[in-house]
Structure 1
Amino acid sequence: MNLKFLFLVLILSGVYCQSQTKIRETGLWSQYLYKTPLANRWAIAGDFQYRTYKIGADFQQFIARAAVSYQPANTAIDVHAGYGYFTGQPFGAADDTTTEHRLHQDLWFESKVNSRLELKHRIRIEERFVKGQDFRTRFRYTLFLNVPLHRKTITDQTLYAALWNELFINGQTNTGKGTVEYFDRNWAFAGLGYQWNASFKFQVGYMREITPSTSKGQLVISVFHQL
């Protein structure tokens, strides 16, 4: 059922994309994601990201984010609460910098399909404090699917296919400087990953970002580090 839902979201995203203005430039998103286990099922998790509208040019956004996580005993659930700092610039020659302080709460959980498929879900609620705009919230849902390519499961030295789709829904449409739609954007990603060992995992792939007005491609390079 979960796989059918994933494919449905991807198909609907593609249909929605047909009405968008397609931006030809491909961006580059570089991201480092970390997690540090603490005592008694607690951990610290976060990420640093640097994004450009074009590969190697036209700065888009820098992100620094950290959270405290807790996994209740005898469950596959992980809950997060954290803070993120965002600074960015609009597309093109303009250099008007925006800043945002953002709180977030996550609920992570897994679904068992079979022994070969890693299927994970993330539900995120965000409280956004954008400079010069009204406070607003946003809701995000991500479905992750990893499939090992030459082993039965993803272990050390395993190459795998990585797929994920993330849907963003605004909680309010009035920003204080104008209005937005409830549908904010959708990210659909497909790529390859390699788990070096229990501490390091790498992914590279292509992500299509769809907003109410535009459609744009991004090359996404990710490093996952278990400290």
Structure 2
Amino acid sequence: MRKIFTKLLFTVLSLGSITALAQKNDLGAWYMYFGNNKISKKLNWHNEIQYRNFDAVGDLEQLLLRTGIGYDLTENNNNILLGYGFILSRPYVNGEKKENIEHRIFQQFITKQKFGRFNLQHRYRLEERFLQDDFRMRFRYMIGLNIPITQKEMLPKSLYASVYNEIFLHFDSPVFDRNRVYGALGYVINKNMRIEAGYMNQIQENRNRGQIQIGFYNNIPFNKN
């Protein structure tokens, strides 16, 4: 099964390379790590690193570090979380690279539902963004779906499909910030780790931009249970 996933990952990356050439390297690449580790029966520690590039590698667009403490309102579900994010951005402005730093506080609520093979997740997030010369608030809503392919459940050594849509809304004008649509193939390594490779299209300021994404998910618990 790992050989199958390796071939699928290679296919996704190859398609991304072809698309990047066709769009004059307007296709970016995001490399992501997500940790969601239990520290007690109710509490969890969220930790996240995202390394975002304008191209495949080397031209940094954004480095995002995010962490937070969450609490399950019900057993392994309905999680509320308070977190902090540090974001280093290096956009191009009139052909020159600039550097911006943002500090972000966020609150979120995640609820999960299961319908047969379909694993559905809703995430509601409120962000207070401390920019270098501004302060803004933003609301985000994401709906995501994981569907096991080779087994009926998300069990070790199984292949699955993953999709999501997320919308970002400002509290002031303009209200619409961006929308992201994502599709990927994933592999469950074991009960606490999985990996995904996919493609995300982002609509922002009337511009569509594609991103190849590779994500690693770590749910190894810190508590003894």
Fold in common (TM above 0.5): yes
2:176 paired residue number: 183
- Aligned partners of 1:23 and 1:216 also within 8 Å: no
Counterpart residue identity of residue 128, structure 1:
R
Q: Structure 2 matches for 1:1-227, cutoff 5 A?
A: 25-74=26-75, 76-91=77-92, 93-112=95-114, 114-133=115-134, 135-173=135-173, 181-227=174-220
- Aligned to 2:97, what secondary structure does the other structure show? coil
Deviation string for 1:28-71 (max 9, x for gaps)?
00010002211241111120010011112421000111000000
Q: Cα 1:30–1:75, aligned 2, differ >3 Å: closer, same or farther? A: closer
- Aligned partners of 2:71 and 2:79 also within 8 Å: yes
1:13 paired residue number: none
Quick one: distance in 1 between partners of 2:121 and 2:76? 14
Counterpart residue identity of residue 149, structure 2:
L
Q: Give 1:146 shift.
A: 0.7
Quick one: distance in 1 between partners of 2:61 and 2:67? 20
Q: Cα 1:28–1:74, aligned 2, differ >3 Å: closer, same or farther? A: closer
Counterpart residue identity of residue 169, structure 1:
L
Q: Give 1:153 shift.
A: 1.1
Deviation string for 1:87-117 (max 9, x for gaps)?
11113742210000000111000123x2201
1:18 paired residue number: none
CA RMSD of aligned residues (A): 1.6
Name the count of aligned residue pairs: 197
- Aligned to 1:78, what secondary structure does the other structure show? strand
Quick one: distance in 1 between partners of 2:192 and 2:181? 26
Counterpart residue identity of residue 124, structure 1:
R
TM-score (norm 1): 0.82
- Aligned partners of 1:24 and 1:216 also within 8 Å: no
- Aligned to 1:77, what secondary structure does the other structure show? strand
Quick one: distance in 1 between partners of 2:74 and 2:118? 23
- Aligned partners of 1:58 and 1:91 also within 8 Å: no
Higher mean C-alpha deviation, range 84-93 or range 50-59: 84-93
Q: Give 1:75 shift.
A: 6.9
- Aligned to 1:50, what secondary structure does the other structure show? strand
Q: Cα 1:123–1:27, aligned 2, differ >3 Å: closer, same or farther? A: same
Unaligned runs of 5+ in 2: 1-22, 221-225
Quick one: distance in 2 between partners of 1:208 and 1:157? 28
Quick one: distance in 2 between partners of 1:109 and 1:23? 40
- Aligned partners of 2:25 and 2:55 also within 8 Å: no
